[in-house]
Amino acid sequence: MFDKILIANRGEIACRIIKTCRRLGIPTVAVYSDADRNALHVEMADEAFHVGPPPAARSYIDMERILEAVRRSGADAVHPGYGFLSENPRFAAALEEMGVTFIGPPREAIEAMGDKITSKKLAAEAGVSTVPGFMGLIGDADEAVKIAREIGYPVMIKASAGGGGKGMRIAWSDAEVREGFEASRNEAAASFGDDRIFIEKFITNPRHIEIQVLGDRHGNVIHLGERECSIQRRNQKVVEEAPSPFIDEATRRAMGAQAVALATAVNYHSAGTVEFIVDEARNFYFLEMNTRLQVEHPVTELVTGLDLVEEMIRIAAGERLRLGQEDVTLSGWAIESRIYAEDPYRNFLPSIGRLVRYRPPLEQAAGPLAEAGLWHDPAAPRGPSAVRNDTGVREGDEISMYYDPMIAKLCSWGRSREEAIGVMADALDNFDLEGIGHNIPFLATVMDHPRFREGRLSTAFIAEEFPEGFSGNRLSEARLGMLAAAAVAMHRVAEIRRARISGRLDNHTRHVGNDWVVRIDGHEWRAHVDSADAAGSDITLEGRHYRVESPWRPGQHLAHLRINSTLLTVRVDRHPLGFRLRHRGADLVAEVLTPQAAELARHMLEKTPPDTSKMLICPMPGVLVRLMVEEGEAVEEGQPLCVVEAMKMENILRAERAGKVAKINAGAGDSLAVDDVIMEFE
């Protein structure tokens, strides 16, 4: 076994690898940029070495800097995590020349599978079914249009060295191919230093399903079942689960056999993932092979009881696989929600800033991983279901614009899919996160969505179910009624506390009434507090009785409530007229008024927002990469105006209506903040 492992990565995955190394008794070495000097992974590791300034290209992707850290640390093995140098064959070769073990597959396999064109040819030769497409490199936009016409629309434009949804576009017309080709090539060059592009047929209503494989250095290869990764936005996975609600046993065996055949064909060892596109008839087509640990690996761990990082380390050390294909069993159901620093109310645009409050739900252990004694937190209480949070941040940390916006991977395990979804929904409600825009409300809405609960998924799920963007979950009237009762109960607690404040004048005792009017999301209820005791309140709302019990006190951000027989967790903040309540993806204001105040409120004028229709406002923090119009130029609806880059993604901002550019307030290379006015129109 290794004496010391350097982790050539940062954030969540670096912390994840350190946890397994600690359990195995292996010292670890972290690397960090200027931006990560005080990061959690640096604190957790036994040693740490500085590798450069914040931009990844000058630190985490700078191979010479990482190799120098390996030399200085004396590490005899390197785990690359995912992203950065994890799929760079030159990095694996350089470590080999130094006599340092690369905890990953052989460089030849990385090279073969890292090029999407080469990998498809090898897959076809190994008997793996592939998507129809053009396997050669494409020189320019005209050639791209010609090829797209021959394949037939729609087509998928992809970066040959791509991953993580970068350098990828769907095109339905010649114009979209031209625009998508240039955008994909620019994005690919910026992200991977490789602007090669290819095109393949886009399968409509597809599912993205992948097979986890494990191979050792002795020629043994097995698969660990599938993961469903169809909930995607911009080709970036958002929610994953294992197993898939769509795949039957026969399809699982067939997909697994093809994944093993491909891994065997390239002499693969270590953990790897073979990704497939699956159509409505369960026909599946090879997409790509990721020669590294996947972001979503925890869901496989939760249903198999295997620590994939440990398996990678043991394989790299020369050990044989400790189980055969017949030993692999899938138990229960696991779901992963990727918590991103992006604002779903602003079309999921990146958000940066400080984590003013970061209180994830408490982890709890259950299922195969707990039975195998591999739970990352040995102190996590045991229960019928599990919650796991893989993260690389803590309260007070800053989310910068230099790296991937993922904050944490929240995972749940249950004995059934229904139970796993319920555990995840509760865990999301219990995640207290403030200071930046984040996608927890959106994730909670997905968990609550009937189509998701039924398992009717495709990679177009988000586009189809949220065509106008995300504006919050719409709760049922029954759930709104429970929140209204909760608001009355909490308001009563807060009012009694205020009534008992010390230092009052004599004979000025404040009376807390029992009659209130509650207004939430356009609904209004007349409420009466029938009785109250130390445990809770009995409240009648429009003739319906609610018993509300909660230990909540003013100032607490999470309220744990029992309303009749239902347990709820609600995030609570004060509002001038009541509370801001966040629950199950809904962000609501609950006004709790006296009957007289409610009557007067009906006569108040509503404040109208300012008119910004003649402005192009920056929707995210980022860098203005390119201006595509000039002052005085007439523009048409939908015309591209500029490109803003944020968190490694290019975002094209377009004209909402026809007009004329009156003034441009920023230039290429300028850093922009949210709501900066980039240009104005006549």
| Three-class secondary structure assignment of 615-658 | EEECCCCEEEEEECCCCCCEECCCCEEEEEEECCEEEEEECCCC
CB-based burial label for 505 (10 Å; 0-12, 13-18, 19+): exposed
**3-class secondary-structure state, position 20:** helix
Burial pattern 44-64, b for ≥16 Cβ within 10 A else e, equals bbebbbebbeeebeebbbbbe
356 vs 457: CA distance, rounded Å? 35
Q: Distance (Å, rounded) from C-alpha 597 to C-alpha 98?
A: 76
8 Å CB contact between 487 and 590: yes
Tokens of 522: 């356009």
Short-list 679, 634, 676, CA closest to 657: 634
Nearest CA to 229 out of 289, 263, 262, 277 is that of 277
Q: Beta strand 28-32 with 5-7: parallel, antiparallel or unpaired?
A: parallel
Question: Is 143 in a helix, a strand, or coil?
Answer: helix
Is the Cβ–Cβ distance between 499 and 510 less than 8 Å? yes
CA distance linking residue 117 with residue 161, whole number of Å: 9
d(CA 25, CA 40): 19
**Distance between the two ends of the chain, CA-based, in angstroms?**
69
DSSP codes of every residue in 656-677: SS-EEEEEE---TT-EE-TT-E
Residue by residue, DSSP assigns 316-378 as HTTPPPS--GGG----SEEEEEEEESEEGGGTTEE--EE-SEEEPPPPBB-HHHHHTT--S-T
Q: Which string of DSSP letters, residue by residue, matches 493-539? A: HHHHHHHT-SSPPTT-PPPP-SEEEEEETTEEEEEEEEEE-SSEEEE
Whether the CB-CB separation of 571 and 557 falls below 8 Å is answered with yes
Tell me the HSE value of 44 on the side-chain side, using a 13 A CA sphere.
Answer: 24
**DSSP secondary structure letters along 160-222:** EEEETTEEEEEESSHHHHHHHHHHHHHHHHHHHS---EEEEEPPSS-EEEEEEEEE-TTS-EE
The counts of H helices and E strands in the chain are 18, 39
Distance (Å) of CA 83 to CA 11, 29, 191: 12, 18, 10
Radius of gyration of the chain (CA): 27
Catalytic residue among 288, 301, 336, 650: 288
Rounded Cα distance between 263 and 257, Å, is: 10
Please, are residues 318 and 270 in contact by the beta-carbon 8 Å criterion? no
Catalytic residue flag (residue 275)? no
**Residues noted as catalytic:** 288
